[in-house]
Amino acid sequence: MDNLKPKENQGQTESEKGLAGFQEEMAQFQEDERMGVRKSGHFLHTPGFNPKELTEEDMAIWQKIKDKSIGKEDVDVYRKNLVSVFGNLDSSRGQFCQMAANLGAVILMKKQLEEYVKNKQEAKQ
């Protein structure tokens, strides 16, 4: 998860880079997976994924993933919006949504585990 930051423009926020910068970042993310630089496979089996189809809504979810502020409700609302527009998650945006849901779940699980450990430690004291 710590390797989510882009290699370039690390000091800039998503809004400073703009939509084109976000789309380039996702294209690089996809290429890094193909080359084995990233040890994930979100876009390896999605040959139709086109980062140029991603929107500012997608960029906003990505920012929440990167700053680890994403919540379950964020992903649920985002997914419902996409399904209501496209009817499924087969589009590039749908594929990105699935990746966002996976990464969001990891973030949420880590937060829950940290809370659990904290509560256990407090109970021992």
**Tell me: the pLDDT tens digits for 63-116?**
999 999 999 899 899 989 888 888 888 889 988 998 999 999 999 999 999 999
Q: Which residues contact 48 (CB under 8 A, 6 or more apart)?
A: 92, 95
* Phi and psi at residue 87, to the nearest 5°: 85, -15
- Rounded to a whole number of angstroms, the distance between the first and last alpha carbons of the chain is 32
Q: Residue 7's pLDDT is what?
A: 47
Instruction: Examine the pLDDT at 2 and tell me if it is beyond 60.
Output: no
* 4-62 confidence digits (pLDDT tens): 554 444 555 555 679 999 999 999 999 998 898 988 888 877 778 899 999 999 999 99
pLDDT given for residue 10 in this prediction:
55
Assess contact for 9 and 21: CB atoms under 8 A.
yes
What pTM value is reported for the model?
0.78
